[in-house]
Amino acid sequence: MPVKIILKILMMSCAVTVLAQDPPVTEDEFEKAYQKRIKKEYLNGVYIPKDLADCFIQLNRLTDDESKAKFKNMTEEDAAHKLHFSLGRWIIYNWGFYEGSRLSFYLKNLGISHPDDMAQFVIITYHRNLNKSKLDVKQLIDHYAEKKEMDRKKRLEQGEIIHEEKRKRKN
């Protein structure tokens, strides 16, 4: 019970911190802010892991033994889906996946670009790490690339042509 209260307080404090900041207005301002953020070790007072191994260290440090045992004993699919809106949201907001952070930059360089996919990737690999299973990072990255391509194709198929023009070429 106290863990839920602490998580709620952390989430509310993060929301207040994020809302209190003025967002970048232009694309150049956003890019400048992004370039600064991806180099920082701390964002809004929260330590940002630099890579996957550092994620595991931080999650081990932040998670009590009882919660860790429950998480470890879940199936991988349950861990990925059931924790998406709790642990996953915490990871996304506190580790700066939307605005950019050194961890999101690291994950983008691996080939994972959507914040939800990044959080799920961290959860799955952390679950595998706790269970001393092979991380199989390459297979997971390929999965997210396939998912992204299928989503793109689906959007194209469902798209509606608003206006079509034909032009004559000069020979």
Residue with tokens 């999650």: 59
| Distance between CA atoms of residues 91 and 80, nearest Å | 13
- The burial class, CB within 10 Å (0-12 / 13-18 / 19+), for 71 is buried
Each residue's pLDDT tens digit, 99-110: 999 999 999 999
Is the four-CA dihedral 46, 47, 49, 55 of positive or negative sign?
Answer: negative
| Cα–Cα–Cα angle for 68, 101, 36, rounded to 5 degrees | 155
- pTM (2 d.p.): 0.79
Q: At what angle do helices 115-130 and 65-73 cross, to 10 degrees?
A: 100
Q: Does residue 114 have a pLDDT over 80? A: yes
Distance CA 113, CA 119 (A): 11
Contacts of 140 (CB under 8 A, 6+ apart): 121, 124, 125
Structure confidence at residue 24 (pLDDT): 74
Own/partner pairs for 36-42, CB < 8 Å, 24+ apart? Answer: 37/96, 37/99, 37/100, 37/101, 37/102, 38/100, 38/101, 38/102, 38/104, 38/105, 39/102, 40/101, 40/102, 41/102
Contact 103, 94 (CB under 8 A): no
Query: What's the pLDDT tens digit per position in 149-163?
Result: 999 999 989 988 888
Can you tell me the distance from the alpha carbon of 119 to that of 117, in angstroms, rounded to the nearest whole number? 5
Kindly report the length of the chain: 171
In the block, residue with structure tokens 């595998």: 128
**Is residue 75 pLDDT above 70, yes or no?**
yes
Residue 38 has pLDDT above 60, yes or no: yes
